[in-house]
Amino acid sequence: MLSLFALMVSSTVFAQKGTVTGEVFDSSNQPVIGASVYEKGTTNGTATDLDGKFMLNVKQSATLRISFVGYQSKDVVVDGSHLRIVLSDNSELLDEVLVIGYGSVKRKDVTTAVSSVSTKDLAQRPIVSAAQGIEGKAAGISVMQANGQPGSAPTIRVRGTTSMNGSNDPLYVVDGVPMTDIGYLSADDIDNMQILKDASSAAIYGSRAANGIIMITTKQGAKGVSKISFNAHYAFNNVRDNIKPLNTAQYKDLQSEIGLVVLPDTLTDRTNWRDQTFRTGYVQNYQVAITNGNDKYNYYISGGYTGEDGVIKESSYKRYNFRMSVENQIRSWLNMNGSVSYSDYTNLGSIISGTGANRGGLLLSVINTPTYAPVWDPNNPGQYNNNFYGVNITSPAENIARTKDNKTSNNRLIATGKATITFFPGLKFSSSLTLDRTYSNTFNFLDPTATQNGRDNKGTGYDSRSIGSVLVFDNILNYTKSFGKHSIDAMAGSSWTNSKWSQSYINGSNYANGDIKTLNAANKISWTDTGTTASEWSISSYFARLAYNFNDKYMLTANMRADGSSKLAPGHRWGYFPSFSGAWRISSENFMKPFTWINDLKLRGGWGQTGNQSGLGDYGYLASYNINRIQWFGTGYDSNAIPTVSQSTLSNPELTWETTSQTDIGLDFTILNNRLTFYADYYYKKTTDMLMTATLPSGSAAASTLTYNGGDMVNKGWEFTVSSKNLVGAFNWNTDFNISFNRNKLTKLSLTQVYYNAKTTDNVNDYVVRNTPGRPLGSFFGYIADGVNSETGELNYRDVSKDGTISASDRTYIGNPNPDFTYGMTNTFSYKGVNLSILLQGSYGNDVYNVSRMETEGMYDGKNQSTRVLNRWKIPGQITNVPKARFDMKNSSYFVENGSYLRVKDISLSYNVTNQMLKKLGITRLQPYLSCSNLLTFTKYKGMDPEVNQYGNDGSVQGIDYGTYPLCKSFVFGVNVEF
Amino acid sequence: MKLKYIKLAVTCTFAGLFTACTLDYDPISTPTELTQGSQTDTTTAVLKDHAAAVSQRTVLYELLKSRQEHWYLDLLLEADAHSDNAYAGTTGAEVLPFENNSVDASSTVLSRDWDRYLDDIAQANVLINGLNPLLSKGLVTQAEYNQWTAEGKIFRAMVMFEMARIWGSFPVITSVAKTITAANIKEVYPTYYPPKSTSKECYTQIITDLTDALSYAPDISSTDKTLLSKTVAQSMLAKVYAEKTVQDYSKVIEYAEKVRATPGLQLESDYSNLFGYDATAKDCKKRNTTESILEIQYTTGNANWATWMFGRQLDNYDYYFTWAKWITPSRDLIKAFDQAGDTLRKNQSIVYYKCTWSNYYPADAYPFMYKLRSGLNSIIKLRLADIILLEAEAYVYQGQLSQAASLVNQIRERAKLPDLASDVASSKSSMVDAVLNERRLELAFEGQRWFDLCRNGKVESVMNAVYSKDSGRLTQKKTFDTNSYLMPIPQTALDENSNLQQNPGY
């Protein structure tokens, strides 16, 4: 073998040589700069210059391969003349390469439901996180920005919610490494993302695939591409402002009707609390990447900084990211790949939300704080004013001060080494080892004088540090073989994941002042809330895939995966997850020949099972006990006391995998010279043995919570995607549209049948979500309000139980937070380097329960209210839809709102500057852009934003607005430069 | 050559397959059944060894300390704000229904109380059931077994007594349910989802537990009144037999007499010793008073938190004194103190502060409940005055009015009040009212009043009248009737356990 190799090399040396010159253009006749030009079968190559020209010494009648990112590679035979080569855009969807988990496949050969978002989609608008790139772009995937806190991760659901208490987050697989959090990753480093939606595609990640998989491939160096790219953008953010508080006169008027607060006559408007809370936020993002490579090796190095100052004062986010990836073909049979990425990100000042202004809820206090009050206490310098004549609230200024020193910083290091051995063409073995280490530090401090809470506790401090290490070791053997019209692709492998995590935490109080914040300055260290903890888990997996393709006409794929998880009970740890899928490319059949306008017609179908065990405690199957410290100090107490233990959860010796079985039928249809593509999918997803934190009636055993495989849930729906090249040529217009219909239903619970969630305002103190079999998850539960009684001014609650009184038995289902459908549409226009992209996104038919309005329109105590209460009932006979002051408020349909919306999510305009001056400077790309996010929202929703959800990631509660950090309107200016 | 590669491939594949390591990890920082002993089909309670039994006994005593929300704060809501002694104090559905009589099954207060009382019973069951196997294995001595079982039973009876008074009945659970498995689910399901017992069954269980405990419970200690002593069992029996379901006045008198005969147990001569705070010593005025039968003590570094719900915390004067407090003394109660000329007990029960809110009274002189006034003060669960007045009540209903009057006068004497007028002392019906009124003034804000009214069948007559008498009281939502004597079973409990049934009227 080696001698053969030597022979090849020497024959190259002795061959006859000549010089070839040429130019490379794109389809719009612009020179392609930096394209790689190689003599096939050799290491001999070059790259095109600023005018797209190249010159190369080659042997006679050699074949040149010309390639460039974003274009289809082209082979040209040297015939002695000056070559003029036109590269065509690599925009044919059918040839798009999809990463499908331990392998990849061309779109046209896909047998399963996969959505894809590529660099081109991502580059069109300024985004800083991967999730933003998915939003509105792919059918079946809901991306909800549950709150606007800088740096907060959105909630992503693939085809609905599958688990009530287990995790519903998709699994992220970044360059083959599974992980649950990708906050470290800069969007600029992402090359493409694929979302594996159905069981048969996701099954290869069986154990962790029940909620779908988001496969992310990061940018890598490429052969012959030597490039420095720089992307910078700067954004201004503003909050939607649609709720106004009463002024002092109106407030006094209201309070005289409520009758709980006695106010002096001298009060006048003093403070606009909105101005004390909000500001123009900004985002800065700078990313640099350097890449180069040749036949043997390539590298990609990137680094960047993202800084965001939130629209709420004192809230901010910062991220520094660095990534390096090197690939080297050490031997013809050995490829080594190493990558390191490091990220340091910090959140400062997360606001208090999900609670009323009486407990520091910031957003609500903006409305609830009366406008007569000053910011600072006139009698006590350095203290926020808290004289509200007995109204139990704290002002926004004070609430911001309560959290302004709360900081969470994370350091994340991900290092991967991977070796791929090619034994002979078709047979490859790859082995990779990844370390994913996160260090996280949360530090909170509350000053002992400025705020009431601080004074009451004499200042508090909290410091928690945790370190987590996840090791992933994958070994995969891959074999591909074509013979005649048959081709097979076989894969087998194993994966082992181990996680170790430990934490230390200290609580302290009684600070002399706010000068020194670290806990050495706290006089009391809490004897109950200080300690260290640790835990560990492992997953071990084996998997295999066999794909068969006959003449690109019939395709079959079978997967099998076995997973063992340490989180499950011994004897029940292993789950087996098979899947099958097939496709029939009808368009390849002879009888379809006459239909030349059809480029591709394919019918897909699949069935498979996936498992879920995330969201479980690390030792969920064991009965666990709390350690309670016993007082050892003080007279009469045992100075040698030891802690007691008391049982906190019940044992489940049979705890096993939650299993989701999914059937998917799909159709791919491409017509009119690849200008119109249509994908349709129907799926039926049934989750059985659903992991639950079951609550049993108290009293029967020492504890009443049990981790149990105790329920079934069904999600079913349709998804449609249409991609159209409406106009091609000098003026280009593309439209991509997707729409998803999902129906969710909890079908069975085995032990306790009813679960309540989401207590609303303290004043009502009742749950608004009731989950029980036969209902969609997260259904709202309460009284039906039939308008305002014009005689009494009370809300008329409906006597559902017909027993003559309004009581707890009249509560019923009053809303459903699950949308009928969600949709997204992207239109892109380009003409002579000008690019305009418009992304519309929306949701239809979902209800939102607006707890915020209970606080701003409830009129139950001395809190200030919104101007909507100016229409309140005042005298008998008055017809209005706002009840009287101090009406009998309950969780009712009065606060359920239509959460449908259509949003202009993003408008981006960019211009590709091309002129000779730039070329002389060596600049190959200069693209300034302008963008605007969340510019317009069409909705009937009365709150600040219909998309928010206070319970963010919770599977069982959705669509609750409770003083949640709002999303904002954003104007972005940026530039992409490459040279 | 090809063979060599195939060999290598096979080796690598196997290397990959065998990378799988163990899936067995014992928890690092959480005690579990692996360290504490597991519960199987055959073992129904687990106390692994002597140390586990000691720990579980401590758990019960710690519960007495930590259960301040349902076993103290909520009890005041149910007994004082729900009666004529107090207003709810603040706004919101958590408290207002108790004041305006609109409590229904959605009450989150009742919901948490139901769950936590049952949780407490379960903890007692672990100790009581767990000690048996330890004794047979020789891991605890007979004396330890006897005493700890007795303490566990007193604890269980006290919790069940509160539940019986609030809801009438509940599922009587005295064992620990087995671990659920696929094989035994049908068999164990009813033990996790038990039906309500009858009221009679509930009280019978309480009496059995208390009677059992009489022999082996520790004697009362003059230096440690936190123990679940024999005297606690006797006092509880006196209280239990006064309740309608098992009413037996001779038993009330019998047990009250035993309590009164307990050496060292006597009324504190100074009423303020019971609830006082010593500002100089920065501590509660007196612990282990001669009058205490069971008290729960708190010290620096481990103070009670409940105080902040009622008013100023004297050991931390400004602590959260920014929002309206619970259990605001009613005008009707203040009037009752004033009419009796009872300044001593009034001043120990009610304090006036200037505050920033004016929900029920003007902000410059706003009354607060004063019987828990610092984080270091004790919660007095049982005291002699309660038992004396209960005995008086029993004598009245037995027609022995003079014995009753002499007991009431003991209490009045300590309160620096004259003896009952002879015309009062000579009439049974006026003595019923006199004892009731004496209990009201003596035991205000100690979680007694509502249950006194129930026991005496006075709920309708007293409570339906108070809304018009008391100008500060919220408008009455529902008329008190025979169904008002019991609280509704919380909807959350009914939904959780479909074998339960709602009380009538809700």
Q: Give A367-382 pLDDT, tens digit per residue.
A: 999 999 999 999 999 9
R_g (Cα) of chain B, nearest Å? 27
Task: Single out the residue of B466, B484, B359 nearest to residue B85, CA to CA.
Answer: B466
Q: Which helix (H) or strand (E) holds A713?
A: strand A711-727
Contact between residue B96 and residue B474 where contact means Cβ atoms under 8 Å apart: yes
Name the nearest CA neighbour of B239 among B221, B220, B252: B252
Find the residue in A nearest to B376 (Cα).
Answer: A634
Q: How far is CA A373 from CA A267, A269, A907, in A?
A: 8, 8, 41
Instruction: Identify from B58, B98, B106, B205 which residue to disrupt to test chain A contact, counting A C-beta atoms within 10 A and taking the largest count.
Output: B106
Q: To probe the interface with B, which of A331, A624, A629, A646 has the most B CB atoms within 10 Å?
A: A646
Q: Hey, is the C-beta of A479 within 8 angstroms of any chain B C-beta?
A: no
Does residue A160 sit within a domain?
A: no
- At A69 the pLDDT is 65
* Interchain pair A392, B324: CB under 8 A: yes
User: Where in chain B are the domains?
Assistant: 272-380
Q: Find the mean pLDDT for residues B55-64.
A: 95
A646 → closest Cβ in B24, B108, B123: B123
| Residue A90 confidence (pLDDT) above 90 | no
Q: Is pLDDT of A14 > 60?
A: no
**For residues A690 and A709, what is the distance between their CA atoms, to the nearest angstrom?**
5
Contact B122 A477 (CB under 8 A): no
Query: For residue A809, what pLDDT band results from cuts at 50, 70 and 90?
Result: confident
CB contact under 8 A, B318 and A455: yes
Chain A residues within 8 A of B302 when measuring between CB atoms: 631, 634
Share of chain A above pLDDT 90, in %: 35
Under 8 Å CB-to-CB from A745, ≥6 apart: which residues?
A713, A714, A715, A774, A775, A776, A777
Q: Are B2 and A425 in contact (CB under 8 A)?
A: no
pLDDT of residue A99: 66
Is the pLDDT assigned to residue B299 strictly greater than 60? yes
Q: What is the pLDDT of residues A197-225, one digit of tens each?
A: 776 666 667 566 677 788 888 887 777 66
Q: Please name which of B390, B62, B382 lies closest in space to residue B232, comparing C-alpha atoms.
A: B382
CB-based contacts of A92, cutoff 8 Å, min separation 6: A72, A674
Averaged over A138-155, what is the pLDDT?
Answer: 69
- Residue that wins the pLDDT comparison between A558 and A42: A558
Q: What is the pLDDT of residues A124-144, one digit of tens each?
A: 666 666 677 777 667 777 776
Whether A295 shows a pLDDT value over 80: the answer reads no
| pLDDT exceeds 50 at position B489 | yes
CA distance, residue B206 to nearest chain A CA (Å): 16
Interface contact A619-B27, CB threshold 8 A: yes
More confident residue, B41 or A760: A760
Domain count, chain A: 1
Q: Which residues pair with A472 in a beta bridge?
A: A434, A497
DSSP code of A169?
P
Query: In the prediction, which pLDDT does B168 show?
Result: 95
Helix (H) or strand (E) holding A441: strand A427-446
pLDDT, tens digit, 9 for 90 and up, residues A601-623: 889 888 988 888 877 788 989 99
Closest-CA residue of A relative to B500 is A697
Establish if A332 touches chain B: CB-CB under 8 angstroms. no
Closest partner residue to A429 among B9, B125, B492, by Cβ? B9
pLDDT band at A4 (very low <50, low <70, confident <90, very high): very low
Which of A708 and B8 is assigned the larger pLDDT?
A: A708
User: Across the interface, do A697 and B193 touch by the CB < 8 Å criterion?
Assistant: yes
CATH number at residue A70: 2.60.40.10
CA distances, B428 to each of A884, B327, B386 (Å): 50, 32, 20
Residue B70 Cα distances to B119, B162, B163, B293, B326, angstroms: 11, 10, 11, 21, 14
Please name the residues between 899 and 918 in chain A that touch chain B, using a CB distance below 8 Å: none
Distance of CA B389 to the CA centre of its chain: 20
pLDDT at residue A126 in the model? 62
The span from the CA of A613 to the CA of A166, in Å, is: 7
Q: What percent of chain B has pLDDT over 90?
A: 81
CB distance A199 to A611 below 8 Å: no
Task: Please give the mean pLDDT across all residues of chain B.
Answer: 92
Residue B368 banded pLDDT, cuts 50, 70, 90: very high
**Distance of alpha carbon A9 from alpha carbon A44, whole angstroms:** 12
Chain B residues touching A370 at Cβ < 8 A: none
Average pLDDT over residues A667-671: 88
- CB A820 within 8 Å of CB A718: no
Q: What is the pLDDT of residue A2?
A: 37
Asked whether the predicted pLDDT for residue B304 surpasses 60, the reply is: yes
Q: What is the pLDDT of residue A10?
A: 37
Averaged pLDDT for residues A728-755: 89
Kindly state the tokens that stand for A783.
């009284």
- Contact of A186 with A425, CB cutoff 8 Å: no
Evaluate if residue A91 carries a pLDDT over 60. Answer: no
| Type of residue numbered A678 | F
Contact between B1 and A1 using a beta-carbon 8 Å cutoff: yes
pLDDT tens-digit profile of B406-463?
Answer: 999 999 999 999 999 999 999 999 999 999 999 999 999 999 999 999 999 999 999 9
Tell me: pLDDT of A13 over 60: no
How far CA A776 is from CA of A163, A742, A816, A822, A956, in Å, comes to: 12, 11, 7, 17, 10
- CA dist B94 and B111 (Å) reads 11
Alpha carbons B272 and B414: distance in angstroms, whole number: 11
Enter the DSSP assignment of A635. Answer: T
Mean pLDDT of the region A788-812: 90
- Contact criterion met (CB < 8 Å) for B119 and A698: yes
Whether A226 contacts A291, CB under 8 Å: yes
Q: What is the per-residue pLDDT for B56?
A: 95
Residue B87 has pLDDT above 90, yes or no: yes
Residue range(s) defining the domain that contains residue A27: 16-86
Give strand pairing partners of A196. Answer: A114, A213
Contact A624 B30 (CB under 8 A): yes
The Cα–Cα gap between A314 and A318 comes to 13
Asked whether residue A40 is domain-assigned, the answer is yes
Tell me: pLDDT of A840 over 60.
yes
Alpha-carbon radius of gyration of chain A? 31
Is the pLDDT score of A492 beyond 60? yes
Beta carbons within 10 angstroms of residue B410's beta carbon: 19
Kindly list the distances between the CA atom of residue A912 and the CA atoms of A833, A917, A927, B110, in Å, as whole numbers in the listed order.
5, 14, 5, 68
Instruction: Specify the pLDDT at position A751.
Output: 87
- pLDDT at position B268: 95
Contacts of B59 (CB under 8 A, 6+ apart): A628, A644, A646, B123, B127
Q: What's the distance, CA B491 to chain centroid?
A: 21
Mean model confidence pLDDT for chain A = 85
pLDDT at res. A202: 66
Which residues, in sequence order, are bridge partners of residue A317? A308, A347
Higher pLDDT, A167 or B197: B197
pLDDT band of A908, cuts 50, 70, 90: confident
Find the CB nearest A699 among B24, B55, B173. Answer: B173
Nearest to A205 by CA among A613, A610, A538: A610
pLDDT value of position B93: 82
Q: Is the pLDDT of residue A758 over 60?
A: yes
* pLDDT tens for each residue of A711-722: 899 999 999 989
Which residue bears the tokens 């217009």?
A733
8 Å CB contact of A861 and B91:
yes
Using pLDDT thresholds of 50, 70 and 90, give the confidence band for residue A7: very low
